[in-house]
Structure 1
Amino acid sequence: MKQVSIKKLSWALAVTLIIFSGEVIGGILSNSLALLSDAGHVLTDAFALGLSLIASMVMRKVPDYRATYGYQRIGILAALINGVSLVVIAMFIFVEGYKRFKSPPEINSDVMLAIATAGLIGNLVMAWILGHKHDDLNIKSAWLHVIGDTISSAGVIAAGLIIKFTGWLIVDPIVSGFVGVIIIIGGVRVIKESLWIFLELSPAGFKADEIAKVLSKVPGIINIHDVHIWSIGHGIPAFSAHVQIHDQKISEADCIRKEIEHMLLHLGILHSVIQMECAECDKNGLYCTPKTIDAADHKHQH
């Protein structure tokens, strides 16, 4: 994790806390649920940015005996927590919005508009600070928080204008529901991407059978099996396989291994483990399931 990302997160967190304080005060003074909903979203922004900041600092640690792959998944864990927090806050907004939909309270649209406009400006500043291109799911999850809040701030401003000129109070819970939907969409997306990595499913764009077919074109390879592809972290795919070749010198076999690694590197896979074999193994399918040794077999072996 680059130092610049940590600085961006720190600045974004500071701006978020200022916006949150202003929207809570403004929401209470104006009695606007839409504004308080936006403040609730901003609070999750602050939580997300703070969590992402801590995770980014931890992710800078080099691999050691505790984490031989490094600490990349700390950031994925932070992203997962951020995603869940988005969904939880949206649920609270829906419940309160339903109550106000049935019985809309009086709202001070002038205060609502002033605070929401300041919030929108602040969110645009945060979005600019964090940028829009992210190779790190941790930073991406924080950015999604900010983008969602930017859209919701615009929605609150629209609600304030409608209330000011039409007196239609019911638009306040309607906009808060709109904000909740935006929050859930972003949250579910981050949760899905995080769980995809934690469950070690194949990264998007990578198919084991297609990779095996490409690698089988390397001269000297008889068969490729027991293929696995997963993600160590966001955008860090890893690959392992058994490669059957003819019985030959280690130096010759190593040339084949280097050619395989070169092809994998071209496909975007930086980390690979290749097991070279000169005879068929017990597991000869493309995707192999390890044999389970039951108690009777274990007793027989000993």
Structure 2
Amino acid sequence: MGETHNHDEENQSTQKLAIVAGINLVGFVAELAGGLLFGSVALIGDALHMLFDAVAYVLALGAVYIGRRTEPDGRWTYGLNRLEPLAAFLNGVLLVPMVGYLVWESYQRYLHPVEIEPLQTAALAAGGLVLNIVSVYVIQGRSMSLNERGAYYHLLGDTGASVAVIVSMLVIQFTGSKLADPITAVIIAAIIVWSAIELIRESGAIFLQRSPVSVDDVRQRILEIDGVATVEDAHIWELSSTLRVATVHVRDRTTTVDERDALNERISTILASEYDADHVTVDLVSAGTGAERRREH
């Protein structure tokens, strides 16, 4: 039942990412053509943002597809679930060259202002804003995977960028100041940097095996269970945003095999239900005899 639920969630995640990737590709083509035609570096920046978002979603789709269809074996004991944080990390890194381009092009526009068609550019940016809002509606939900959260950060950045382009074009239309265009492009670059940092931070935490919960809280919770003497060791980490692993080493006061099995089941249930651990390993060692039993769930 749980496995079926996970597959349903993965299918929904794949569908969402595919829809959002298609929307962003359409927006990229329209905004790039408009930016080149009307001379707005801010609109070109927004278009590039949408392109890199689409590439990011395609990478995420590939990671989900391969990870879901690769069964664990003797060498890949957890399958290829680590492809998800790897794809998310690469998505964050891919945003960096785009920032460099926007800052450089904005500087060139500052030195050599060009003619811009503000109303037409604003209309295209408004279309991009609508696409971004639709994408946010598609991707958002109560529980999002790492790649969905990455897409969500990208889309928030896109939405802010579209609003900034519209405002800058209105400023140019009513004041005649062409500096609004390169200034807006730099603002978009800052939004992109924020998106990249968030994505790299979350994926990096998974790669570096940062615990998603307080291990001290886990130790204290296990110590509250009848029959537990001490918690010698405890680790919780994530292989991906949808696969959490927990291992604990406990000294117990049980006297029979049935009591020990019941304690093992109790600890495993707590780690799974209260701390969302998908794969649990519990080592039980008698505090009196040193006898050891290991159970995996």
TM range (shorter): 0.7 to 0.9
Relative to the length of structure 2, the TM-score reads 0.87
Structure 1: distance between partners of 2:137 and 2:224:
46
Post-superposition offset of 1:159:
0.9
> How large is the Cα RMSD of the aligned pairs?
2.2
Question: How does 1:180-191 map onto structure 2 within 5 Å?
Answer: 180-191=189-200
- Partner residue, 1:197: 206
Match of 1:25 among 27, 33, 42: 33
CA distance in structure 2 between the partners assigned to 1:138 and 1:74 by the alignment: 11
State the partner residue of 1:297. Answer: none
Q: In structure 2, what residue type is equivalent to 1:30?
A: F
Aligned to 1:9: 17
Match for residue 230 of structure 2 among 218, 223, 228: 223
Q: CA deviation at 1:11?
A: 2.2
| Aligned-partner SS, 1:172 | helix
CA distance in 2, matches of 1:217, 1:116: 57
Which contiguous aligned blocks of 4+ residues in structure 1 show a shift greater than 6 angstroms? Answer: none
Identify the residue that residue 207 of structure 1 maps to in structure 2: 214
CA shift in 2, pair 1:247/1:17, >3 Å: closer
Partner of 2:151: 142
Is the alpha carbon distance of 1:10 and 1:237 closer, same or farther for their aligned partners in structure 2, counting shifts above 3 Å?
closer
Q: Residue 280 of structure 1: CA displacement?
A: 8.6
Q: Which residue of 1 aligns with 2:186?
A: 177
Q: 1:163 aligns with which of 150, 155, 172?
A: 172
- The equivalent of 1:61 in structure 2 is 69
CA distance in 2, matches of 1:180, 1:76: 24
Give the SS at the match of 2:248.
strand
Contact 1:29 1:111 survives alignment (8 Å)? no
Is the CA contact (8 Å cut-off) linking 2:227 and 2:254 kept in structure 1?
no
| Alignment-derived partner of residue 295 in structure 2 | none
Q: Secondary structure of the equivalent of 1:64?
A: coil
When residues 91 and 74 of structure 1 are mapped into structure 2, their CA distance, relative to the original with a 3 A threshold, is same
SS for the counterpart of 1:273 is strand
Query: How far apart are residue 129 of structure 1 and its match?
Result: 2.2
Distance in 2 of aligned mates of 1:150 and 1:48: 17
SS at match of 1:60: helix
Instruction: Give the 3 Å change call, closer, same or farther, for CA 156–55 of structure 1 in structure 2.
Output: same
Sequence identity, in percent? 32
Q: Distance in 1 between matches of 2:15 and 2:227?
A: 51
Number of the residue aligned with 1:116: 125
Counterparts of residues 38-57 of structure 1 (less than 5 Å): 38-57=46-65
Unpaired runs of at least 5, structure 2: 1-8, 291-297
Task: Provide the residue aligned with 1:261 in structure 2.
Answer: 268
